[in-house]
């Protein structure tokens, strides 16, 4: 179909989300052609070890081969040369599905060259404010940084564009901490709840990455910056669910010694659930400030009514005051995150084409 618009796409990161995205791009060929007169052309793939570049586009067979190589634990290419963005078309969309700040120089160069950027990686947007200022503009999309494919970012953009006043945002932004909160509320000892969550695959390999609250704080910081709050991470009040001295332990040692936190966490949960309130680990953004930590939510509230492993963001605005606007659902998972990234690519391509 010669009248299709050819959109170059460069993938930074080829882990679980990156590979799911590549498969979804191939599977959606017919839909994109029919619905958007669009063909997404993967012009390069890079991970931390190697890269493959093809400015005119990688054939689908080559992409399938890269998926197989990566699935076998092999390098994408035998030559570990870093990617060279200057060899790519000027209207390329660079997609970051990594979880590292090492991609920031590539993102900054892409923006300087007039390229588009799509991020699932929240670290560049929750890092130095200079990164935010350089990246987060009309040639960028970052829907999946705050809840996989949940339309949190697009909803907030619509509210802001409509002239509504955002009075307060609250949200449960971590399925892992949502699960732990429900377990604590049910009386499960903290140490056991942490081990159960890890066994079910809900946590990172080191559960402290979730328990520190930093992941939830980064998501909330992105929302706060969209409101115009000039905040750095050091300005955010973050409640960690374990004391800092436990950072020195190995993962196995931490999992064993987490039982020492059973009593204080039981007391904390009891204090917050008085009167039937629901225990949640939530963010609150209001009056230029941002806090994340345990709260007791009224059971009839939007925050109190979600399923434990779901994510929710509640927008209290001038127009949505008596009944605040909520976006909720599954907020994690490689396939659903990849689908959100793919939606961002199509949206940005449509905007850049204009």
One domain for residues 169 and 291: yes
Tell me what pLDDT residue 142 has.
98
What does the pLDDT look like over 204-234, one tens digit per residue? 899 999 999 999 999 999 999 999 999 999 9
One domain for residues 320 and 178: yes
Is 88 contained in some domain?
A: yes
Check if 219 is active-site: yes
One domain for residues 73 and 165: no
* CA–CA gap between residue 233 and residue 4 (Å, rounded): 43
DSSP reduced 3-state for 140 = strand
Residue 205 is part of a domain; what is its CATH number? 3.30.360.10
Is 301 contained in some domain?
A: yes
What values do phi and psi take at 194, rounded to 5? -65, -45
DSSP reduced 3-state for 76 = coil
More confident residue, 330 or 173: 173
One domain for residues 121 and 84: yes
One domain for residues 231 and 276: yes
Is 155 contained in some domain?
A: no
Is 67 contained in some domain?
A: yes
Is 154 contained in some domain?
A: no
One domain for residues 141 and 267: no
Is 191 contained in some domain?
A: yes
| Residue numbers of the domain that contains 292 | 160-329
What does the pLDDT look like over 85-105, one tens digit per residue? 999 999 999 999 999 999 999
Q: Number of folded domains in the chain?
A: 2
DSSP reduced 3-state for 30 = helix
One domain for residues 39 and 188: no
What does the pLDDT look like over 144-168, one tens digit per residue? 999 889 999 999 999 999 999 999 9
Nearest to 117 by CA among 127, 98, 129, 146: 98
One domain for residues 29 and 95: yes
Residue 53 in this model has a pLDDT that exceeds 70: yes
One domain for residues 252 and 213: yes
Q: Name every residue whose Cβ is closer than 8 Å to that of residue 38 and which is 6 or more positions away in sequence.
A: 4, 5, 7, 32, 346, 349, 350
What does the pLDDT look like over 275-311, one tens digit per residue? 999 999 999 999 999 999 999 999 999 999 998 778 9
Q: Catalytic: which of 111, 122, 198, 219?
A: 219
Is 70 contained in some domain?
A: yes
Residue 24 is part of a domain; what is its CATH number? 3.40.50.720
* CA–CA gap between residue 306 and residue 202 (Å, rounded): 17
Q: Name every residue whose Cβ is closer than 8 Å to that of residue 224 and which is 6 or more positions away in sequence.
A: 169, 231, 285, 290
One domain for residues 193 and 115: no
One domain for residues 275 and 322: yes
One domain for residues 91 and 192: no
Is 17 contained in some domain?
A: yes
Task: Compute the average pLDDT of residues 264-282.
Answer: 97
What does the pLDDT look like over 247-259, one tens digit per residue? 999 999 999 999 9
Contacts 24+ apart (CB under 8 A), 258-263: 258/190, 258/191, 258/194, 258/195, 259/189, 259/190, 259/191, 259/192, 260/191, 261/190, 261/191, 262/189, 262/190, 262/191
Residue-averaged pLDDT of the chain: 95
């Amino acid at each position: 179909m010669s009248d299709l618009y050819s959109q170059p796409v460069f993938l930074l990161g080829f882990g679980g989300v990156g590979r799911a995205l590549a498969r979804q791009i191939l599977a959606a060929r017919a839909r994109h052609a029919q619905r958007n007169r669009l063909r997404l052309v993967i012009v390069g793939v890079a991970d931390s070890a190697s890269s493959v570049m093809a400015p005119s586009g990688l054939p689908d067979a080559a992409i399938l081969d890269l998926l197989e190589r990566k699935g076998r634990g092999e390098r994408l290419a035998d030559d570990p040369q870093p990617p060279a963005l200057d060899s790519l078309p000027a209207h390329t969309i660079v997609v970051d599905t990594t979880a590292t700040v090492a991609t920031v120089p590539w993102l900054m160069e892409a923006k300087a060259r007039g390229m588009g950027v799509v991020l699932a990686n929240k670290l560049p947007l929750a890092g130095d404010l200079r990164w935010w200022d350089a990246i987060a503009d009309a040639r960028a999309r970052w829907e999946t940084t705050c809840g996989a494919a949940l339309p949190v970012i697009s909803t907030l953009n619509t509210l802001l564009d409509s002239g509504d006043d955002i009075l307060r945002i609250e949200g449960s932004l971590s399925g892992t901490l949502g699960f732990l909160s429900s377990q604590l509320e049910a009386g499960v000892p903290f140490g056991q709840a942490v081990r159960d969550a890890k066994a079910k695959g809900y946590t990172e390999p080191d559960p402290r990455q979730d328990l520190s609250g930093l992941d939830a704080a980064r998501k909330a910081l992105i929302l706060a910056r969209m409101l115009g709050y000039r905040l750095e991470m050091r300005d955010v009040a973050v409640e960690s669910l374990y004391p800092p001295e436990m950072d020195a332990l190995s993962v196995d040692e931490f999992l064993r010694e987490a039982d020492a936190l059973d009593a204080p966490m039981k007391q904390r949960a009891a204090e917050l659930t008085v009167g039937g309130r629901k225990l949640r680990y939530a963010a609150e953004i209001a009056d230029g400030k941002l806090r994340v930590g345990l709260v007791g939510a009224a059971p009839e509230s939007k925050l109190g009514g979600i399923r434990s492993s779901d994510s929710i963001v509640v927008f209290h605005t001038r127009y949505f005051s008596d009944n605040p606007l909520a976006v909720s659902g599954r907020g994690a998972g490689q396939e659903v995150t990849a689908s959100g990234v793919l939606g961002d690519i199509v949206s940005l391509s449509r905007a850049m084409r204009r």
